[in-house]
Amino acid sequence: MDLYLLVIYDISDNALRSKMASFLKSQGLERIQRSAFIGPATPSLARNVEAGVTRLVRGREGEINVQLYLLTPACFNSRTIIGELKYNEDESGLVT
């Protein structure tokens, strides 16, 4: 079964948020919003991402909230997108 990993995060510190984006990109995930990434994932990749995120935010848990969802094809395919704002791969991230 093809799974997808969705990661959404709430990190107000610019430097830490930027590190989070770089890390998630390094794991092969694609930026879909300023603070959301998604990509095909095995359970093993999902565990690696979880471990990496946990390391990245260590000591700053009170300031942040990161949520990981492992989506089945049914859940992934239920996705509805409204609006046309898109992100490219760089850190500032914003293109249209």
Annotated binding site: 10
Query: If you ran DSSP here, which 8-state letter would residue 22 be given?
Result: H
Distance of closest approach, residue 9 Cβ to a second copy, in angstroms = 7
Could you list the residues known to form a binding site for Mg(2+), using ranges: 10
Query: Exposed/middle/buried for 70, CB within 10 Å: 0-12, 13-18, 19+?
Result: middle
Distance of closest approach, residue 94 Cβ to a second copy, in angstroms = 9
Token pair in block for residue 22: 């770089």
What does the per-residue mask of binding to a second copy show for 18-57, with x meaning CB under 8 A?
--------------xxxxx-------------x--xx--x
What does the per-residue mask of binding to a second copy show for 67-96, with x meaning CB under 8 A?
xxxxxx-xxx-xxxxxxxxx---------x
- Please state whether 36 falls in left (phi above 0), alpha (psi between -120 and 50) or beta: beta
What are the φ/ψ torsions at residue 77 (nearest 5 degrees)? -75, -10
Residues contributing to the site for a second copy (CB under 8 A): 6, 8-10, 32-36, 50, 53-54, 57, 60-72, 74-76, 78-86, 96
